[in-house]
């Protein structure tokens, strides 16, 4: 794949300069069109050390309005970053609609570096490739333009440049140990890079190999590719993309209408058992913390089903330094203008921590679906996107537990009425709750579909029968405890 | 990948029946929308022997209007089909805009069968996978909906079905040797099929694995996938797709303005040399015929440049049973409503034969580009599509020679004027020729770009300096001879 660069035909100096001027002018005009059309553009620069990525980045952005782009230089992940799923540090950087992100080195560098340093086995490599492909497709499916450049120079050219840089103090700092190692092991690196490009070049986000021997010629290749890419993306407004067949193992789940809500627990038994379970959970949480196991608990459920009280019984068993409750409201403008899962990626716990989401990324297939806040294709695609998201978390080592806090329609009415009639509870009931209640049947269809399509074996849904809130609380605690015991391999 | 089918959740009988009725009604409505919107749909059925592909095909089309679909059953290629490039028998079947093609077994069966019979080495397998991916992307990039189903049943289920079929004479004929072999070597086949699905599942034409144990449930899976796929495709009208970087080795070519047109040949020398070259060509053609080497010669050039005379000097050296001259005019409606390369795929020569195209598939990047007969994205994409097309021909073993018959503007004017003033030549000059002449400069830009971007090492352009037609004729003959000598490994 890298060898393709030989096919590029460098124009004569005058033509090159003319085309370069044209491309810069065009890109300057495009930034406003991107803004108007809400197109986010992610541009990744990868390639050999000393191939000129930094310099070229400077040239590409020279005429752009600084309000319209961000440029980041990624290095190998820090210890702190290693406590998050592999994709986190890339996913959290994705641009807002209408803006550029230029990334100097990224997921390719991280993966290839580990391969070259013999720190990644073939199985993990394959897993990473899968993650990368899903990550990039997730972006392009959601309207992002993703352009990936690999800056290529020969071994001889690299050697020459490194020697030049090392000659004077002013530039010697630019050369790091890996650059020298890379040049010494050029053939091995070539093979690794070439395989990575092959493995991750897809129709929707192909790689472009840039002949980087001449800076100006490299600049033209990049500029023209960016300009053509943006033109293409601007034409494809609100693309509908193929739905992919689910590829994850699912558990068979009951429909909500099949759930027996008459289950309950004796108040005395409840008190005792609650205490015992909380003590047990406290202990397990400490062990999970020491072992670095992250736990993600997702709460969804009907209004007034008792989510808040349920969460409270869980958290009161936990060390406050080791958990966070994350309430999810409707997305803010800066969240809405990114991939719908972005606001959850930025809220992931560190290893060893609990993250309890009070409402979640499932809003996409419930409220956003029913209120028309996204297109049909958007929410239909979301089942798979969510399964993929949770797969990343699971591969990272997280325990994922999803609760649907369930009550029947009558119970909701009783609780709404009580709230309305109790002054200190009135803040808990709004007009929106009543409006949502009117849409109960439509919600039930959506929830049934959601539970059927996203109950993967690695992140299953659990239905908490919450007509008796006590029953639901004990059940939640037991499920969390079971999962921790399993992950910690104790019983 | 095959194991994914386990994730499919079969609904209860009543719901299944309701959804099936809905899906059939929807598909019935969609066929008219497809017609209106010119959407072509190719549906491929692959899977285990006795998995029920035939029966299911019958059920899917039961309500469709026979004018809107074709169903073909593909078998292993015949001896005649093996004399064409691998993709030919699939590519030539692609549907017209607004119509369905249902294909029972296709490129998957052919490739996997050869792998299982130890008739395909890993290198060829990799080549075939590349061909298949390019073929499918070529279709989806050009607005085709491609849906691929793999019908899955377990070894046990297959055994049971085969035994049942064999029990009575009426059905025993449906079981062939390969079905029995497949069941006996189920695990080996599973591995081969699974690898193929993995290797060819892409975002734009993903595989759908169908749990085919129950016919009705299989029918629902297929119907709902087809309906969703068509809905998706109908929304994406006139898609603009990413341009892919050229991945083929190119030759550096001069611009037309750099070509020295003053070259000429003495009339006496011409006569002698013409005869010698034609004799040599005649001999080489016979050898190429015996060796089964196909030769494809593509002629493009300015109006009145002398294409006809040039072709004539070539063909008069050839055995009439071994060549065909194929004049290409603007596409007929039935051609226009298919992939732009389709009309060339159906005209490919057999092994050992010469095909001489008088005008070619390059119309896309010349007249269609300049007259706006296709979109900008269409012709920009075409360079790569053409390189891919010619790569298939080259991989098949064809010699590909492309001539640009070149003259300058003054020479054209002189020849036009002569034609106009010579009664027996007046038929050769039309108003369109004069109109095209006015666009000379725009054509020159397009031709330069075409030659630069499609002069691959395996199918290079040759510029024939044709101000002196004699010179151009000898040069053409020499180039054909050289190429034949090289392919036949003689000198």
Mean pLDDT of chain A: 93
- Residues B275 and A239: their CA atoms lie apart, in Å, by 61
Nearest CA to B68 out of B105, B103, B28 is that of B28
Are residues A232 and B240, on separate chains, in Cβ contact within 8 Å?
yes
Q: Residue B203 is nearest to which of A137, A208, A228, comparing CB atoms?
A: A137
- For chain A, the residues whose C-beta falls within 8 A of a C-beta of chain B are 1, 4, 6-9, 137, 141, 202-209, 225, 228-229, 232, 235-236, 239-250, 252, 377, 380, 452
Q: Which CATH architecture has domain A261-488?
A: 3-Layer(aba) Sandwich (3.40)
Element (H, E) at B324: strand B323-327
**The predicted structure's pLDDT at residue A169:** 86
Between A232-246, B130-144, B173-187, the lowest mean confidence (pLDDT) is in: A232-246
Are residues B4 and A247, on separate chains, in Cβ contact within 8 Å?
yes
Residue of A nearest to B250 (CA): A7
Closest-CA distance, A232 to chain B, in angstroms, reads 6
Six token digits for residue B475: 């040069």
Residues of A in contact with B252 (CB under 8 A): 9
Are residues A203 and B241, on separate chains, in Cβ contact within 8 Å?
yes
Confirm if B426 and B322 have CB atoms less than 8 A apart: no
Res A426 pLDDT > 90 = no
Contacts A–B by Cβ distance under 8 A: 95
Question: In CATH terms, are A2-235 and A261-488 the same topology?
Answer: yes
Other CB atoms closer than 10 Å to residue A409's CB: what's the count? 12
* A414 Cβ neighbours under 8 A, 6+ residues apart: none
Q: Residue A246 is nearest to which of B4, B246, B247, comparing CB atoms?
A: B4
Nearest CA to A449 out of A338, A344, A364 is that of A364
Per residue in A365-393, pLDDT (tens digit) is: 999 999 999 999 999 999 999 999 999 99
The CATH number of the structural domain formed by B257-488 is 3.40.50.300
Can you tell me the mean pLDDT for B280-294?
A: 95
Buried b / exposed e over B168-186, threshold 16 CB at 10 Å, is eeeeeeebeeebeebbeeb
Residues of A in contact with B141 (CB under 8 A): 203
Domain boundaries, chain B: 2-235, 257-488
Q: Residue B232 is nearest to which of A4, A202, A377, comparing CB atoms?
A: A377
Are residues B4 and A245, on separate chains, in Cβ contact within 8 Å?
yes
Structure letter (DSSP) for residue B181: H
Between A206-215, B230-239, B255-264, the lowest mean confidence (pLDDT) is in: B230-239
Are residues A208 and B236, on separate chains, in Cβ contact within 8 Å?
no
Closest-CA distance, A416 to chain B, in angstroms, reads 34
Mean pLDDT of chain B: 93
Confirm if A331 and A434 have CB atoms less than 8 A apart: no
- Residues A414 and A305: their CA atoms lie apart, in Å, by 11
**The predicted structure's pLDDT at residue B253:** 93
Q: Residue B249 is nearest to which of A7, A207, A240, comparing CB atoms?
A: A7
**The predicted structure's pLDDT at residue B424:** 86
Residue B381 backbone class (left: φ over 0; alpha: ψ -120 to 50; beta: rest):
alpha
Are residues A203 and B137, on separate chains, in Cβ contact within 8 Å?
yes
Can you tell me the mean pLDDT for B272-290?
A: 95
Element (H, E) at A184: helix A177-184
Residues of B in contact with A240 (CB under 8 A): 232, 235-236
Nearest CA to B450 out of B458, B442, B395 is that of B442
Res A402 pLDDT > 70 = yes
Q: Residue A7 is nearest to which of B205, B240, B246, comparing CB atoms?
A: B246
* A165 Cβ neighbours under 8 A, 6+ residues apart: A50, A171, A172, A174, A175
**The predicted structure's pLDDT at residue A6:** 66
In B126-274, beta strands by DSSP E:
145-152, 207-211
Are residues B9 and A452, on separate chains, in Cβ contact within 8 Å?
yes
- Residues A307 and A326: their CA atoms lie apart, in Å, by 13
Can you tell me the mean pLDDT for A207-232?
A: 94
Q: Residue A239 is nearest to which of B8, B236, B377, comparing CB atoms?
A: B236
Per residue in A156-172, pLDDT (tens digit) is: 999 999 999 999 888 88
Residue of A nearest to B238 (CA): A236
Per residue in A428-438, pLDDT (tens digit) is: 888 889 999 99
Percent of chain B with pLDDT over 90: 84
Other CB atoms closer than 10 Å to residue A316's CB: what's the count? 12
- Residues B64 and B41: their CA atoms lie apart, in Å, by 13
Q: Residue A206 is nearest to which of B9, B208, B242, comparing CB atoms?
A: B242
SS3 A115: helix
Confirm if B195 and B125 have CB atoms less than 8 A apart: no
Per residue in A323-351, pLDDT (tens digit) is: 999 999 999 999 999 999 999 999 999 99
Res B238 pLDDT > 80 = no
Closest-CA distance, B428 to chain A, in angstroms, reads 38
Six token digits for residue A102: 């230029």
Q: pTM of this prediction?
A: 0.83
- Residues B360 and A214: their CA atoms lie apart, in Å, by 37
Other CB atoms closer than 10 Å to residue B286's CB: what's the count? 14
Residues of A in contact with B452 (CB under 8 A): 9
Where residue B427 falls among pLDDT bands split at 50, 70, 90? Answer: confident
- Residues A76 and A302: their CA atoms lie apart, in Å, by 44
**The predicted structure's pLDDT at residue B139:** 96
Confirm if B479 and B401 have CB atoms less than 8 A apart: yes
Residues of B in contact with A7 (CB under 8 A): 246-250
Can you tell me the mean pLDDT for A20-35?
A: 95
Residues of B in contact with A380 (CB under 8 A): 228
Nearest CA to A255 out of B17, B9, B214 is that of B9
Res B7 pLDDT > 80 = no
Q: Which CATH architecture has domain A2-235?
A: 3-Layer(aba) Sandwich (3.40)
- Is B235 buried (19+), middle (13-18) or exposed (0-12) by CB count in 10 A? middle
Between B171-185, B235-249, B382-396, the lowest mean confidence (pLDDT) is in: B235-249
Per residue in A55-92, pLDDT (tens digit) is: 999 999 988 888 899 999 998 899 889 999 999 999 99
């Amino acid at each position: 794949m890298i060898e393709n660069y030989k096919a590029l035909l460098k124009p004569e100096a005058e033509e090159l300069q003319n085309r370069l001027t044209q491309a810069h002018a065009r890109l300057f005009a495009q930034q406003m069109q991107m803004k108007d059309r809400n197109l986010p553009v992610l541009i990744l620069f990868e390639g050999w050390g000393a191939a000129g990525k930094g310099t070229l980045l400077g040239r590409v952005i020279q005429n752009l309005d600084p309000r319209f782009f961000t440029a980041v230089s990624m290095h190998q992940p820090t210890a702190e970053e290693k406590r998050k799923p592999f994709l986190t540090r890339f996913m959290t950087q994705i641009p807002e609609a209408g803006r550029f992100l230029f990334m100097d080195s990224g997921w390719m560098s991280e993966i290839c570096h580990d391969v070259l340093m013999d720190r990644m086995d073939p199985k993990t490599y394959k897993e990473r490739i899968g993650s990368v492909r899903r990550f990039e497709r997730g972006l392009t499916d959601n309207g992002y333009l993703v352009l990936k450049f690999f800056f290529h120079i020969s071994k001889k050219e690299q050697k020459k440049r490194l020697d030049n840089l090392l000659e004077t103090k002013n530039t010697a700092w630019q050369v790091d140990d890996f650059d020298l190692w890379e040049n010494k092991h050029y053939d091995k690196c070539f093979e690794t890079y070439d395989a990575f490009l092959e493995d991750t070049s897809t129709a929707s986000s192909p790689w472009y190999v840039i002949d980087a021997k001449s800076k100006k010629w490299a600049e033209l290749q990049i500029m023209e590719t960016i300009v053509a890419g943006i033109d293409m993306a601007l034409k494809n407004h609100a693309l509908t993309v193929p739905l992919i067949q689910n590829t994850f193992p699912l558990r068979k789940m009951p429909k909500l209408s099949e759930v027996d809500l008459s289950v309950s627990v004796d108040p005395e038994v409840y008190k005792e058992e609650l205490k015992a379970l909380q003590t047990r959970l406290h202990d397990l949480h400490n062990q999970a913390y020491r072992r670095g196991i992250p736990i993600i608990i997702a709460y969804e459920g009907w209004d007034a089903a008792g989510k808040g009280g349920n969460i409270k019984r869980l958290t009161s068993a936990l060390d406050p330094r080791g958990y966070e409750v994350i309430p999810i409201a409707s997305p803010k403008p800066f969240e809405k203008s990114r991939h719908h899962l972005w606001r959850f990626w930025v809220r992931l716990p560190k290893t060893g921590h609990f993250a309890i989401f009070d409402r979640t990324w499932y809003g996409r297939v419930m409220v956003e679906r029913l209120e028309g806040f996204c297109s049909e294709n958007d929410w239909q695609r979301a089942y798979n996107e969510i399964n993929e998201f949770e797969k990343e978390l699971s591969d990272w080592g997280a325990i994922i537990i999803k609760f649907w806090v369930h009550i029947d329609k009558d119970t909701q009415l009783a609780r709404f009425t009580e709230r309305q009639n109790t002054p200190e509870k009135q803040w808990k009931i709004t007009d929106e709750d009543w409006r949502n209640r009117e849409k109960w049947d439509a919600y039930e269809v959506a929830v049934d579909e959601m539970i059927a399509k996203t109950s993967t074996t690695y992140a299953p849904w659990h239905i908490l029968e919450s007509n008796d809130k006590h029953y639901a609380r004990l059940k939640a605690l037991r499920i969390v405890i079971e999962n921790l015991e399993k992950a910690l391999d104790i019983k």
